[in-house]
Structure formats: C-alpha cells, structure tokens
Amino acid sequence: MTTQLNPYLGFRDNTREAMEFYRSVFGGELTMSTFAEFEASDDPAEQDKIMHAMLTTEDGLVLMGADTPNRMEYRPGTNYSVSLSGDDEPALRGYWDGLAAGGTVIMPLAPSPWMDSFGMCVDKFGVSWMVNIAAPSA
C-alpha cells in the first residue's frame, strides 16, 4: 500500500493549456478527463472543462490540476492544494481526520463519481488539502 503527496493546481478554464505547457517543460505522460466524462456538472458551459489532469514524469514527478467550476471561487495566488492519494485506506483516513480537525471541511470524505473516496478540506493553518483513497481493485 502506498500514499503519494503532490501539488494540485487550480485554473479557471485553461487547465488543458497549462498542463500541456508543463508537459513541454517536464516531459512525461499527461492524462486529462472532462466534467462531461464524469457527469460532474449540469452546466453545459462546463462540459469540456478539465475535471482532473495528471502529469507523471519518468523521474517520478507528479503534477495534477483541474478547472475550477463556475460556482466555486477562483483567486490566482491561492489556486493550489496538496493532494494525498493512494490505496492505504487506514493511513489516508487517519491523515484526513488529522488535517480536518480544527479546520474547515469543504467536501466530506465520501464516495466519488470515479469510484474512489474523495474529500477536500482547509487545515487550521489555511492550507488546502485533497484526499483521494483509491477504490479496491476487483
């Protein structure tokens, strides 16, 4: 079981362009999924926005990003989170509990449309966190 820690960048509507740029700088494999693919937004203007992008380099660097839905605040300079992801459910739930304690839960840790458990919080020091626990393999 493993856990990965990496930056997660937020954009308003140019994630595709930004992540292609980062791939040109760092190299690696880039995957992207839209809001439409996960049926994650009822807003027709958001269907082609990127819900999740992940750049993984041969050196082991991982950078993730997404377009910010129109209903959520977007402020350059604070448009980042730290992502914890993996399949070690007890460890990740423990991290979640610790990070959320005394902070603000933005999205409770719960099953997500992509079959994992996912949550977002801001810890008591103002740092934004995302926790993603991979669904058990079949």
pLDDT tens for each residue of 71-109? 888 888 778 899 999 999 999 999 999 999 999 999 999
Task: Give the global pTM.
Answer: 0.77
Q: Which long-range contacts (CB under 8 A, 24 or more apart) does 86-93 make?
A: 86/1, 86/2, 86/3, 86/4, 86/132, 86/133, 86/134, 87/1, 87/2, 87/133, 87/134, 87/136, 88/1, 88/2, 88/3, 89/117, 89/133, 91/1, 91/3, 92/3, 92/131, 92/132, 92/133, 93/133
Domain boundaries, the chain: 3-133
Contact of 35 with 16, CB cutoff 8 Å: no
Query: Edge-to-edge strand order for the sheet containing 62-67?
Result: 29-34, 50-56, 62-67, 3-11, 80-86, 128-133, 117-122, 104-111
* CATH class in words for 3-133: alpha beta
Tens of pLDDT along the chain (138 residues)?
688 999 999 999 999 999 999 999 899 999 999 999 988 777 888 899 999 999 999 988 999 999 998 888 888 877 889 999 999 999 999 999 999 999 999 999 999 888 899 999 999 988 899 999 998 776
